[in-house]
Amino acid sequence: MTDRALMSVRAEVDRLYREEHGRIVAPLIRLLGDFDRAEEVVHEAFEAALSQWPAEGLPDEPRAWLLRAARNKAIDRIRRSRSFADKRAELKAVADIESAFAPAADELLELGPRDDMLRLVFTCCHPAIAADAQIALTLRAICGLTTPEIARAFLVDEKAMAQRLVRVKKKIRGARIPYRVPAPEELPERIDAVLHALYLVFNEGYAATAGDALVRKDLCGTAIRLAELVSTLLPREPGPKGLLALMLLHDARRHARVDALGELVLLEDQDRGLWDRAQIARALPLVEEGLRERPPRGYAIQAAIAALHAQAERPADTDWRQIAGLYHVLLRLEPSPVVELNRAVAIAMNGDEEEGLRLLDALAARGTLAHYHLLPAARGELLRRLGRTEEARGAYRAALALVNNDVERRFLERRLAALDP
């Protein structure tokens, strides 16, 4: 195999790891009853692919190949394990795995009401686990993010994140946290953490923390499907519907967010003919339903903001006044520096650029978003619009020092270069 073909195989294995990790590891965690062992056999399956595929060529069904490899390695581990002294227990464990992986790969990957990934999300978000550890573990298990990637998302060093992940897995094992969707009476008190985790999974797909692609449609699709399942489990809860509407509206713009070369296209420059109108139409009734709750939840308000963007035929038709007002309400309900940033931008887009910049400067002075590249990027944009070119250059350079995604980096570089005389 040529070097180019070898690189192609490696790229395909990398893609499959990012897109399929959660769906392969979830049933193995259930069957092996252990995060670490499940992750190890999945890792071994991908290593086997890297070893065999260059010589044998890509299989016709790469996902099915990986599933079979992971299944076989799980069975091998069980048979080698000294802890399975009781032969009957060993046989039962092997039979469970063979039975679970017996359907064709496509059937195994189908999501149903008893989906393993949903069990996995509820396990990761168990109330016995600290909130930040819940999210870190969900990003690892569902998204397949590496420890360095998760550390970057949390703005902590890799060693600290590795220790956090080890502790949370020990906690699950030691406390015998069940790997299941909770009983109906337990769901309301568990739902907020699960929705938060799903939103973060979607965000990682909508704007990848790092890498050479802006969008990871696999993660967006996974988060949407799981939100649909949660909404089905709790039909009277407005939270899941609000989150589902928000995801559908953002995802509806997916094909317009990058151009043919994969480069970032700002909302105001997007071809609105590429937006998925059917998906927008599906989301709008959910937005209305969410806003009827008193007081409305944060997801419903964010969905209402996304709906205003989605309903504008042209950028000039966007109701920035109402969007700024909705961010004001959101800030009162769920204050956060990111909401402050978005509100400042909305105020600027509504015509008061000086006030928007003043709010961004105040936010920057507090230092709470010191590692968030979108703050200096937004400042750079407003400074550019106000004709304060040299200050805009400084802001774009500050954003470039913080950005990790290659697509966003190239966009900021183009913005900076455009300021040259």
pTM > 0.85: yes or no: no
Decide: 304 and 242 in contact? Cβ < 8 Å.
Answer: no
345-364 pLDDT, tens digit per residue, is 999 999 999 999 999 999 99
The model's pLDDT over 66-80, given as tens digits with 9 standing for 90+, comes to 988 988 888 888 777
- Range 85-107 average pLDDT: 55
Say yes or no to pLDDT of 402 above 50: yes
What is the chain's mean pLDDT, rounded? 85
pLDDT of 418 above 90:
yes
The pLDDT of residue 104: 42
Query: Averaged over 179-191, what is the pLDDT?
Result: 78
